[in-house]
Amino acid sequence: MSVGIVLVSHSAQLAAGVLEVAQQMAPGVRIVAAGGMEDGGIGTSFDTITAAVQQADDGDGDGVVLLYDLGSGYLTTETAVEFLEPELGERVTIVDTPFVEGAVSAALTASFGADRKAVVSAALEARTANGPGGVRSVDEM
């Protein structure tokens, strides 16, 4: 049993780039890029996301974790999940996390055979995993 990951981005190139990084770090994980519109333009596609979820799911019950790049990507992602067959939709979790960091954390955790809850937890922890560098608040300026 394993968890699949879908990377939803407004840009096919961005999704492919994050996919490349995540696959290099976790080569055995099913990760699918769902970026851009069918015509190659910028945006998110209901059909592309739906197909990616179906491709990422291996049918064993562990399900799929979806990560998205920008807030409006959530809307398309949520709609796509709502239209999935109920058995699959129940095994899908959409995660609000930094796109690159969340994808890498989720992929690494999935590569160790973790369940969906642990993969989601790892993706969420990526929000604060940037180490000591950079400002975290305008109060620090």
What positions carry a catalytic annotation? 10
The secondary element (H helix, E strand) that includes residue 108 is helix 99-111
Query: What are 67's strand-pairing partners?
Result: 7, 95
Classified as helix, coil or strand, 19 is helix
What is the C-alpha to C-alpha distance for residues 32 and 101, in angstroms, rounded to an integer? 16
CB-based contact 13:41 (threshold 8 Å): no
Ordered alpha helix ranges (H), the chain: 12-25, 46-56, 71-82, 86-89, 99-111, 116-125
Farthest-apart Cα atoms in the chain, separation: 49
Burial class, 92, CB count within 10 angstroms (exposed 0-12 / middle 13-18 / buried 19+): buried
